Amino acid sequence: MVLGVRDRGVTHLGPAEVRELAARLGLRPTKQRGQNFVIDANTVRRIVRESGVTAGEVVVEVGPGLGSLTLALLETGAEVTAIEVDPLLAGELPATIEAFAPAQAGRLRVVLADAMSVTELPGPPPQALVANLPYNVSVPVLLHLMALLPSLEHGLVMVQAEVADRLAAPPGSKTYGVPSAKAAWFADVRRAGAIGRNVFWPAPNVDSGLVAWTRREPPTDRIAREEVFAVIDAAFAQRRKALRGALRTLAGGAEQAEAALRAVGIDPLTRGETLGIDDFVAIAIALHEMTPESA
C-alpha cells in the first residue's frame, strides 16, 4: 500500500503517488511495452468524461499500468475489467485500488494477459472500452477487441496523435488508410481532442490524441469481414497504385480485378484512398462471386 494515502485524503494518482508507487515496485517504464503513465488527475477525468461511461456499465481497460485511469473509471460507478500484460503491475493494481478507493475495489477485475492474444474475458459482457493504449500496438489491439467483443457499444482510447488522425480520417484525406477503413467496419470514429506530453511520466517524445467511437452494425452479412479486410490491405499495400494493379494478386490477375471493379461501378484507375468501407465491401463481394468456389 502507498504509505499515508488515506491520511492524505488522496483518491487519484498524481506525480508524487506515481513516483512513489514506481519506486516501491522497483519499476522502470520501458519503451518496449509503451509504458508512459498518466500523472495528471484532470486528464484521466477528462478521458472518462469524454468516454461517456456511466454507472453500471462494464468497461474494458487495456494497460492500466499503475491505476490512474482505473481509479477515474471506477469513480463513475462502472465495473472495470483491466487487461495488463506486466505481472508486476497486474499483481499490484488491486492493492492500489484498495488503498485509494476501498469502496470501489469490488468492481475491479484484473486479467493478466496480452490484449492482442486474449480470447475471452471474465465477468459480464462489456459495453465500453476506455484505455491509454501502448503506442506500438494501439491499432491492432483496438481492432482485435472490437472484433472479439461485439457487446462493446462505445469507447475512447488515447493513442499517438498521428494514429488518432489515421483512425478518424475520412476517405480522400491524406491520413486515410488501413486503420481508418478497418475501424469503420466496426464503428463511427471521431477525433475527441489532444493530450499534451507533460501529463505523462516519463514524457513521450510524441503528442497524444483521443479517439472516440460508437458501434455500428457491420456493413454486410453477405461476406466475411476477413475477405473485406484482405481487399483493404491490398488496396493500401502500394498506396499510389490504381486499384486495377493493387488488387491484381488478390483477384488472380489484372483483368479479373478490373472486371470486379467495373461490376460495382468503380473506375479501375481509382486509388484505394478514395473509397469508403461500403466500397471495399462491394469489391470483396464481387471478387468472391467471381471465384470458382463460389459458383
Neighbours of 66 (CB within 10 A): 27
**Phi–psi pair at 291, nearest 5 degrees:** -80, 145
Decide which of 175, 190, 215 is a domain's last residue: 215
Show contacts of 12-17: CB within 8 Å, 24+ apart: 12/41, 12/44, 12/68, 12/71, 12/72, 12/100, 13/37, 13/38, 13/39, 13/41, 13/66, 13/67, 13/68, 13/71, 13/100, 14/39, 14/40, 14/41, 15/39, 15/201
Strands 187-195 and 79-84: unpaired
> Is residue 193 in some structural domain?
yes
The alpha carbon of residue 278 and the mean position of all alpha carbons in its chain are separated, in whole angstroms, by 22
69 and 124 in one domain? Answer: yes
> Is residue 207 in some structural domain?
yes
251 and 154 in one domain? Answer: no
CATH number, domain containing residue 285:
1.10.8.100
69 and 167 in one domain? Answer: yes
Using omega within 30 degrees of 0 as the cis cutoff, is the peptide bond preceding 202 cis?
yes
143 and 87 in one domain? Answer: yes
257 and 142 in one domain? Answer: no
203 and 67 in one domain? Answer: yes
280 and 162 in one domain? Answer: no
| Known binding-site residue numbers | 36, 38, 63, 84, 114, 132
Neighbours of 291 (CB within 10 A): 11
Residue 292's pLDDT is what? 66
Count structural domains, the chain.
2
Decide which of 191, 215, 239 is a domain's last residue: 215
> Is residue 220 in some structural domain?
no
Query: Residue written as cell 506515481?
Result: 18
Angle between helices 178-186 and 277-290 (to 10 degrees): 90
pLDDT in tens, the chain (295 residues): 454 444 444 578 989 999 899 899 988 766 555 568 888 999 999 999 999 999 999 999 999 999 999 999 999 999 999 999 999 999 999 999 999 999 999 999 999 999 999 999 999 999 999 999 988 899 999 999 999 999 999 999 999 999 999 999 999 999 999 999 999 999 999 999 999 999 998 888 889 999 999 999 999 999 999 999 999 999 999 878 999 999 999 999 999 999 999 999 999 999 999 999 999 999 999 999 987 665 4
284 and 157 in one domain? Answer: no
Query: Residue written as cell 513516483?
Result: 19
Of the candidates 167, 253, 264, the residue with the CA atom closest to the CA atom of residue 211: 167
> Is residue 184 in some structural domain?
yes
Q: How far apart are CA 53 and CA 154, in angstroms?
A: 9
Decide which of 172, 188, 215 is a domain's last residue: 215
Non-local (6+) Cβ contacts of 154 within 8 A are 51, 52, 127, 128, 212, 213, 214, 215
Strands (E), 139-251: 154-160, 187-195, 200-201, 208-215
Non-local (6+) Cβ contacts of 221 within 8 A are none
183 and 143 in one domain? Answer: yes
User: What does DSSP assign to residue 203?
Assistant: P
Range of the domain at 110: 5-215
190 and 132 in one domain? Answer: yes
> Is residue 185 in some structural domain?
yes
| Known binding-site residue numbers for S-adenosyl-L-methionine | 36, 38, 63, 84, 114, 132
253 and 159 in one domain? Answer: no
145 and 206 in one domain? Answer: yes
Of the candidates 177, 204, 208, 175, the residue with the CA atom closest to the CA atom of residue 193: 208
> Is residue 85 in some structural domain?
yes
CATH number, domain containing residue 184:
3.40.50.150
Q: Which residues pair with 38 in a beta bridge?
A: 200
Strands 58-62 and 79-84: parallel
Q: What DSSP string runs through 105-146?
A: GGGEEEEES-TTT----SSSPPSEEEEE--GGGHHHHHHHHH
Region of residue 75 (left: phi > 0; alpha: psi -120 to 50; beta: else): alpha
> Is residue 151 in some structural domain?
yes
